[in-house]
């Protein structure tokens, strides 16, 4: 390694003081401290390993106003969300941290490590290693999870006629960004709820596992419903039609932002709900869940045959205009 923070002993001290404590014993034969970790995967020998990585860069995936506790929670939650979308159980993760020298202090690192510990504890996954370097602030996490063989839900299993669902209200992520960016708020709104949706999105771990028995395809909504549903379309070779009036949006977001919020729910990112498809004969099961406490779980459309050309998303029967698809996070 060429660069450390600021010299090798301090890097070791950081790892020792802030990260070593996050290794739980479950399945960890050898944790942080050696050249590599050793995992005991013999406890569930028939399971498949599921691996996902996500990197968060300052000013792209979180604003520079974010505190270290929030950054850590968001980094771990978005990685857990990928594991949830596969219907997998999270087990272990590694952390690659690039840290500016000015942040290599007790208060920043303590906040970061406690944010990480809280989420790791809740979802029963442990930190098993990583890398610490000096540089622009960026956090890369690789999450390892497991599933019974062949039971993971991919993006590629949707069929013509399957119904499309989302696990909860959309548009919160984009609304939270608007609050973070200091845009005017006219009505009373629970900005605390929105900020927590942004910094600590709820990974749908248990719900994802429940979907293994019913969903033909699944994805977590990080880039926006239309963009992510399009991934299902392309991988599955079928198109999708969304009834926009069925897309769930929280009342406070709707009354605050009016017309904007529908656009946010369709094209805004950072919601981390699951979008999944269900064959018609299994929809009764899913519909019974929404009566059963999952109130924002909603059927929003149906997969359709792709006649010619590329599989794509239609909104109320109309093809989506290309320039509407992207979503600009923090400008730049």
Q: Which residues, other chains included, contact 102 with Cβ-Cβ below 8 Å and sequence gap of 6+?
A: none
CB 139 within 8 A of CB 75: yes
Select 131 or 316, whichever has its Cβ closest to Mg ion. Answer: 131
Q: Tell me which of Mg ion, ligand ADP, none is bound by residue 249, counting a contact when its beta carbon lies within the kind-specific cut-off of 5 to 8 angstroms.
A: none
CB 197 within 8 A of CB 182: no
CA atoms of 258 and 60, how far apart (whole Å) = 26
Which residue from 27, 130, 203, 301 is in contact with ligand ADP, where contact means CB under 6 A?
130
Rounded to 10 degrees, what is the CA torsion of 58, 64, 66, 69?
Answer: 50
Asked if 108 touches ligand ADP (CB under 6 A), the answer is no
Asked if 35 touches ligand ADP (CB under 6 A), the answer is yes
In angstroms, what is the minimal distance from the CB of 137 to Mg ion?
18
Asked if 109 touches ligand ADP (CB under 6 A), the answer is no
Which residue from 2, 7, 9, 34 is in contact with ligand ADP, where contact means CB under 6 A?
34
| Tokens standing for residue 69 | 């506790």
Which residue from 73, 81, 132, 236 is in contact with ligand ADP, where contact means CB under 6 A?
132
Select 117 or 262, whichever has its Cβ closest to ligand ADP. Answer: 117
Q: Tell me which of ligand ADP, Mg ion, none is bound by residue 256, counting a contact when its beta carbon lies within the kind-specific cut-off of 5 to 8 angstroms.
A: none
Binding to ligand ADP, residues 66-85 (CB under 6 A): none
Q: Tell me which of Mg ion, ligand ADP, none is bound by residue 251, counting a contact when its beta carbon lies within the kind-specific cut-off of 5 to 8 angstroms.
A: none
Q: Tell me which of Mg ion, ligand ADP, none is bound by residue 19, counting a contact when its beta carbon lies within the kind-specific cut-off of 5 to 8 angstroms.
A: ligand ADP
Q: Quick one: which of 295, 255, 287, 250 has its CA closest to 271?
A: 250
Which residue from 80, 95, 139, 205 is in contact with ligand ADP, where contact means CB under 6 A?
95
CA atoms of 53 and 25, how far apart (whole Å) = 22
CA atoms of 184 and 50, how far apart (whole Å) = 42
CA atoms of 112 and 129, how far apart (whole Å) = 16
Select 20 or 299, whichever has its Cβ closest to ligand ADP. Answer: 20
Burial track 288-309 (b if 16+ CB lie within 10 A, e otherwise): ebeeeeeeebbbbbbbbebeee
In angstroms, what is the minimal distance from the CB of 34 to ligand ADP?
5
Contacts 24+ apart (CB under 8 A), 183-188: 185/256, 186/256, 187/252, 187/255, 187/256
Sheet holding 163-166, edge to edge: 217-220, 274-278, 163-166, 298-304, 239-242, 313-315, 318-319
Select 129 or 208, whichever has its Cβ closest to ligand ADP. Answer: 129
Asked if 2 touches ligand ADP (CB under 6 A), the answer is no
In angstroms, what is the minimal distance from the CB of 146 to ligand ADP?
21
CB 158 within 8 A of CB 122: no
Binding to ligand ADP, residues 231-290 (CB under 6 A): none
* Residue 71 backbone dihedrals phi, psi, to 5 degrees: -60, -45
Asked if 28 touches ligand ADP (CB under 6 A), the answer is no
Asked if 131 touches ligand ADP (CB under 6 A), the answer is yes
List contacts with Mg ion (CB under 5 A).
131
Residues near ligand ADP (CB under 6 A): 1, 15, 19, 32-35, 95, 97, 127, 129-132
């Amino acid at each position: 390694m060429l660069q450390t923070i600021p010299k090798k002993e301090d890097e070791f001290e950081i790892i020792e003081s802030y990260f070593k404590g996050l290794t739980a014993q479950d399945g960890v034969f050898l944790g942080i401290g050696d050249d590599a970790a050793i995992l005991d995967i013999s406890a569930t020998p028939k399971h498949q390993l599921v691996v996902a990585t996500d990197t968060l860069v300052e000013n792209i995936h979180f604003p520079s106003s974010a505190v270290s506790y929030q950054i850590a929670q968001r980094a771990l939650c978005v990685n857990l969300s990928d594991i949830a979308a596969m219907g997998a159980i999270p087990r272990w993760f590694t952390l690659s941290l690039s840290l500016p020298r000015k942040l290599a202090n007790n208060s920043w690192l303590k906040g970061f490590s406690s944010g990480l510990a809280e989420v790791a504890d809740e979802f029963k996954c442990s930190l098993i290693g990583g890398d610490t370097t000096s540089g622009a602030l960026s956090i890369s996490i690789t999450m390892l999870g497991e599933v019974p063989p062949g039971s993971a839900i991919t993006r590629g299993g949707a069929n013509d006629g399957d119904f499309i669902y989302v696990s909860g209200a959309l548009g919160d992520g984009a609304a939270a960004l608007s609050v973070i960016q200091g845009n005017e708020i006219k009505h009373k709104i629970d900005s605390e709820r929105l900020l927590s949706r942004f910094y600590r999105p709820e990974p749908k771990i248990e719900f994802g596992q429940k979907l293994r028995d019913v969903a033909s395809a699944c994805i977590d909504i990080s880039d926006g419903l239309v963009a992510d549903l399009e991934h299902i379309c392309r991988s599955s070779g079928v198109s999708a039609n969304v009834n926009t009036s069925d897309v769930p949006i929280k009342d406070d977001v709707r009354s605050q932002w009016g017309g904007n919020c529908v656009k946010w729910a369709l094209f805004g990112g950072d919601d981390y709900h699951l979008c999944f498809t269900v064959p018609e004969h299994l929809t009764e099961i899913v519909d019974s869940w929404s009566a059963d406490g999952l109130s924002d779980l909603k059927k929003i459309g149906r997969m359709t045959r792709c006649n010619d050309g590329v599989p794509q998303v239609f909104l109320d029967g109309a093809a989506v205009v290309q320039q509407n698809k992207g979503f600009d996070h923090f400008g730049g």
